[in-house]
């Protein structure tokens, strides 16, 4: 089997698995009164701005929605909250404004096409690297991610594009190919969801050399995008900063949609919050407790990671190990949901490399990587929620609380285990081990020969 045939087969399976999610997501969207909720929110935020309205003023995007024939019913509380309070950064409008100029149905079609295209491209690039070491394992892990993206496609959340662009940028920087495209992709990703791409960007800044140059170039483009949108927004909404902070406070308050505690309105569904706060809050439902404890745990691990990255010599192996450690900690340190966990695509190359090395540790690498991917995937998560729907959080006694957390909120603990494991491997990595300089064809040739 030659290299090109392997790539065609891989692309077929990636498209098939993504197609399953798109089709299932379509039926979820059609069967729900609030389908494409997240995209509808950013679409009308940007449309409000295009009409010289203040998208951060409470109710303004909702006014635009209703003026264009949109209806609100008692069952549409989620849509009402999304349209009432804009919590996205102003730079989100850079990506959404071209879509907001179009009618809703056409904008939705193009947005979903962009989401599918970028996600498949990101998945193929990760397989492209992982297949150099373990093509079957890499393919299975990536296909599982793609086949479990129904909620992402049903909601139209910007995470689909943001995460995909971040992954594409990493491939460009590590391979040192299509660098300009990589800079633009990472800049857009940072501008829209810095809590997804921030630590990925930080790694390249700490890695030094040409990687630091790429990170600084990315920062320059991001700042330029931010200045452009702020100059556009400021005359229309001079108090947007205070309004944005107020909106964030409302949705993050106890019982709000972004509240990580058990009282959250989204605490027990497929869009649940998966940061470390959601686990600690099960023991002490007090943000003065669970926020500092989460920052202490994740901050300590990230500090060790940052020092190691700063002192290490760049190599492809080191880069993938560093990113595999950073991604789970990124998801834990602050607000994230399962669709943000598609960022775990960046852990597949590290898992494939450890598997190829043949040491016993490869089994643990496969187990923790698979556990992180499976636990944040839509179908397994839905099954877990159905099985534990009648389990109630005990108010006293830490043994019962711990058991309940393991049953109902295992994701943060799995991600923490995954982050600690890859951080340990990264700390043991030999910084003198550099990229061999082999071409893609040379790396893939032995694998292709075995599969012939």
Percent of the chain topping pLDDT 70: 87
Model pLDDT for residues 266-312, shown as the tens digit of each residue: 656 656 888 999 888 888 878 888 889 999 999 999 999 999 999 98
- Which residues, 6+ apart, have CB-to-CB distance to 19 below 8 Å? none
Separation between Cα atoms, residue 341 and residue 339, nearest integer Å: 5
Quick one: pLDDT at residue 450? Answer: 47
More confident residue, 219 or 360: 219
Q: How confident is the model at residue 392 (pLDDT cuts 50, 70, 90)?
A: low
Angle in degrees, 0-180, between the axes of helices 159-175 and 209-233, rounded to the nearest 10 = 150
Q: How confident is the model at residue 32 (pLDDT cuts 50, 70, 90)?
A: low
Range of the domain at 95: 3-451
More confident residue, 166 or 388: 166
Mean per-residue pLDDT for 106-122? Answer: 94
Work out the number of other CB atoms within 10 angstroms of the CB of residue 222.
Answer: 21
Quick one: pLDDT at residue 58? Answer: 86
Average pLDDT, the chain: 86
More confident residue, 37 or 96: 96
Q: How many domains does the chain have?
A: 1
Q: Which two tokens stand for residue 226?
A: 């931010």
Quick one: pLDDT at residue 79? Answer: 67
Q: How confident is the model at residue 37 (pLDDT cuts 50, 70, 90)?
A: confident
Place of tokens 């102003």: 90
Quick one: pLDDT at residue 452? Answer: 47
Quick one: pLDDT at residue 20? Answer: 86
- Which residues, 6+ apart, have CB-to-CB distance to 298 below 8 Å? 276, 329, 332, 333
Quick one: pLDDT at residue 442? Answer: 46
Percent of the chain topping pLDDT 90: 54
Separation between Cα atoms, residue 308 and residue 425, nearest integer Å: 11
Separation between Cα atoms, residue 75 and residue 59, nearest integer Å: 18
Query: Among 198-202, 213-217, 375-379, whose mean pLDDT is lowest?
Result: 375-379
Mean per-residue pLDDT for 249-276? Answer: 74
32-36, 62-66, 82-86, 194-198 — which one is most confidently predicted on average?
Answer: 194-198
Q: With a cut of 90, say whether residue 172 has pLDDT above it.
A: yes
Separation between Cα atoms, residue 346 and residue 204, nearest integer Å: 14
More confident residue, 120 or 4: 120
Rg (CA), the chain: 22
Separation between Cα atoms, residue 42 and residue 209, nearest integer Å: 38
**pTM greater than 0.85 (yes/no):** yes
Separation between Cα atoms, residue 151 and residue 381, nearest integer Å: 11
Quick one: pLDDT at residue 439? Answer: 41
Torsion of CA 364, 370, 372, 377, to 10 degrees: -170
Query: Among 98-112, 377-391, 417-431, whose mean pLDDT is lowest?
Result: 377-391
More confident residue, 427 or 384: 427
Q: With a cut of 50, say whether residue 434 has pLDDT above it.
A: no
Quick one: pLDDT at residue 262? Answer: 72
Model pLDDT for residues 414-423, shown as the tens digit of each residue: 999 999 999 9
């Amino acid at each position: 089997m030659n290299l090109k045939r392997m790539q065609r087969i891989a692309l077929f399976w990636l498209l098939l698995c993504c197609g399953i999610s798109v089709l299932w997501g379509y039926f979820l969207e059609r069967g729900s009164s609030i389908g494409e909720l997240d995209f509808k929110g950013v679409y009308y935020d940007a449309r409000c701005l295009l009409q010289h309205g203040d998208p951060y003023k409470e109710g303004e995007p909702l006014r635009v929605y209703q003026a264009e024939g949109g209806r609100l019913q008692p069952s549409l509380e989620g849509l009402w909250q999304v349209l009432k309070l804009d919590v996205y950064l102003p730079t989100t409008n850079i990506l959404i404004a071209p879509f907001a100029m179009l009618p809703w149905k056409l904008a939705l079609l193009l947005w979903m096409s962009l989401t599918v295209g970028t996600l498949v491209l990101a998945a193929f690039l990760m397989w492209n690297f992982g297949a150099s070491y373990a093509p079957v394992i890499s393919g299975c892990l990536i296909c599982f991610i793609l086949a479990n993206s129904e909620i992402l496609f049903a909601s139209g959340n910007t995470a689909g594009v943001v995460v995909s662009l971040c992954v594409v940028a990493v491939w460009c920087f590590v391979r040192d190919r299509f660098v300009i495209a990589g800079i633009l992709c990472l800049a857009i990703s940072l501008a829209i969801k810095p809590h997804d791409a921030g630590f990925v960007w930080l790694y390249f800044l700490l890695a030094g050399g040409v990687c630091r140059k790429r990170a600084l170039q990315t920062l320059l483009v991001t700042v330029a995008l931010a200045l452009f949108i702020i100059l556009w927004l400021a005359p229309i909404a001079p108090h947007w900063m205070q309004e944005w902070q107020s909106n964030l406070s409302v949705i993050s308050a106890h019982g709000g949609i972004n509240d990580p505690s058990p009282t959250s309105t989204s605490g027990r569904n497929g869009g649940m919050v998966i940061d470390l706060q959601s686990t600690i809050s099960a023991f002490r439902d007090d943000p003065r407790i669970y926020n500092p404890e989460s920052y202490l745990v994740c901050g300590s691990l990230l500090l060790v990671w940052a020092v190691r990255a700063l002192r290490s010599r760049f190599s492809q192996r080191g880069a993938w190990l560093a990113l595999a450690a950073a991604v789970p900690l990124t998801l834990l340190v602050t607000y994230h949901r399962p669709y943000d966990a598609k960022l775990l695509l960046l852990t597949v190359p590290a898992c494939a490399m450890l598997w190829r090395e043949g040491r016993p540790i490869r089994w643990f690498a496969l187990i923790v990587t698979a556990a992180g991917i499976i636990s944040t995937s839509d179908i397994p998560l839905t099954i877990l929620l159905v099985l534990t729907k009648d389990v109630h959080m005990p108010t006293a006694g830490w043994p019962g609380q711990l058991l309940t957390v393991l049953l109902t909120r295992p994701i943060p603990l799995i991600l923490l285990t995954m982050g600690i494991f890859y951080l340990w491997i990264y700390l043991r990595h030999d910084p003198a081990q550099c990229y061999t300089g082999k071409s893609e064809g040379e790396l893939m040739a032995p694998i292709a020969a075995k599969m012939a």
